[in-house]
Amino acid sequence: MARGATHVLGLDIGTQTIKAVELRLAGHEMRVVGRPVVIPTPEHSVSGGRVVDTAAVSEALTDLLSRNGFSTKKVIASVGGDTDVVVRITQVPKMTGKELDEAIQWELERQAPFPVDQAVYDYQPIHRPDAPADASDMDVLLAVAQEEMVDAHVESMMAAKLMPVAVDVEPLAIARALADAGGEALSDQTIVVVHIGASNTAIIIVRKGLLAFVRTIPTAGAALTSAIRQNMTEDEASAERVKRLFADLTGSYAFEGAEAPAGDATSSFDAIGEVEEADSVFEMSDADQAAAAYGEPHLDEAATQLDMDTSQAYALPPTPAAGAAEAAPVAAAAPAPVPPEVEAVRSQVYEAIAQPLLDLATEVRRSLDFYHRGHRDEDIDHLYLSGGSASIPGLAAFLGAEIGLAIEVADPFEYVVVGDEVSDEYLKDIGPICVIAVGLAMRDMLD
């Protein structure tokens, strides 16, 4: 049954963007209140998932609240980071009570990359319905975060006069939005989510309604920005803007491996001229966060986020989309031809980001191979792509071709009721980046 926070704001404070979605439980329906919001995170205020400038973040949250009509101050947020949060499914001998508490203390010492006395943690035994009755071991979901990092998130929210109800972990929020919310229709299926964030990508597998696999890899938005900067422009801000405006894998070059245009690597970029700032829902991290070296994966590495209760809550407001009035439907027109200089820049961007994307596909395949070794006869029912980079045109098809499975772009609003004031186009645009925020808001609304 729902546990209490049935009208709440899901708040995802990312390195590049802040996402806020307000949900209210009405009978058996989860309804979006107002308009979901995505705003830029203040520059240099969040690094690797950690809030490093609480004043800047709280000011952004206060502005978000004042500009949008959120009607609750209760907030469920998430924390994450490259080194500050660990979420793992670990295996221990079957036990309960005090014995399990003591075993978890040992696991904390073994798993946490920071002193345990500076951490907050939670754990949950995973009771798999098809586990052998005489199994000697059991799975436990363990989440641990550096206390100082959690405190910074909470401080930022409370300074904006929000009331934190709970701090959740990203893998659970993602699974909740894309699997749990589907109810019985998905309860017996195996669902994979590739969530591309700013500085890392989480690979999550939900099997029969339970989290079965969590892994993070370093190839994410930062790697794409870094590749563009190295190949096209040394300016970090320009590389980020080029990625947002010109990353597009729908062109023929993306699948035919066309050569990059001859001549200087930045010639086509220069031909376009100065790239103007543009709104984006891409959650891309700073370009100077270079992608870590690739190689054989440690398949027990954790994704980012965890499920810890705190004693307060917050609220956020939805940002009005540009052009509030909905245009009347018109007959679909043939797409305008792409200017040659724009197509040339797109081709160069593809040449720059192709290798990190191929590396990403390789790591997803390795993760699926690892999972299949324990579940040999099991099919993957759905493979979803989420996170800011999921909005790059053609990326799902590109990765699907490399992995050998059809990939769907995630729609976290599929299982909630959205008012007519929010257009389908807007929801489609922001959906992939709002998966965590939606899952956070759902935390106490699902049976």
Output the pTM of the full model. 0.82
Residue 105, token pair as written in the block: 């203390």
Phi/psi at 45 (5° precision): -95, -20
CA–CA separation, 328 and 325 (whole Å) = 9
Mean pLDDT across the chain, nearest whole number? Answer: 82
Mean pLDDT of 380-393: 95
CA–CA separation, 222 and 283 (whole Å) = 9
On whether the CB atoms of residues 198 and 109 are closer than 8 A, the answer is no
Rg (CA), the chain: 22
Helix (H, G, I), strand (E, B) or coil at 267: helix
Phi/psi at 345 (5° precision): -65, -40
CA–CA separation, 405 and 402 (whole Å) = 8
Helix (H, G, I), strand (E, B) or coil at 439: helix
Q: How far is CA 214 from the centre of its chain?
A: 13
pLDDT in tens, 91-128: 999 998 899 999 999 888 888 888 888 899 999 999 88
Residue 213, token pair as written in the block: 């696999």
Helix (H) / strand (E) element for 47: namely strand 46-47
pLDDT in tens, 398-430: 999 999 999 999 999 999 999 999 999 999 999
pLDDT in tens, 284-329: 233 233 323 323 333 333 223 343 333 333 233 343 444 333 344 4
Cβ atoms within 10 Å, residue 334: 5
First to last CA, the chain: 4
Residues 6+ apart with CB under 8 A from 328: none
CA–CA separation, 440 and 22 (whole Å) = 10
Tell whether the model's pLDDT for residue 17 goes beyond 60: yes
CA–CA separation, 341 and 347 (whole Å) = 10
The structure tokens 């989860």 sit at: 30
Which one has a higher pLDDT value, 158 or 129? 158
Supply the pLDDT for residue 281: 32
Tell whether the model's pLDDT for residue 268 goes beyond 60: no
For a pLDDT cut of 90, what percent of the chain falls above it? Answer: 58
Domains (range + CATH), the chain: 7-221+291-321+358-441 (3.30.420.40)
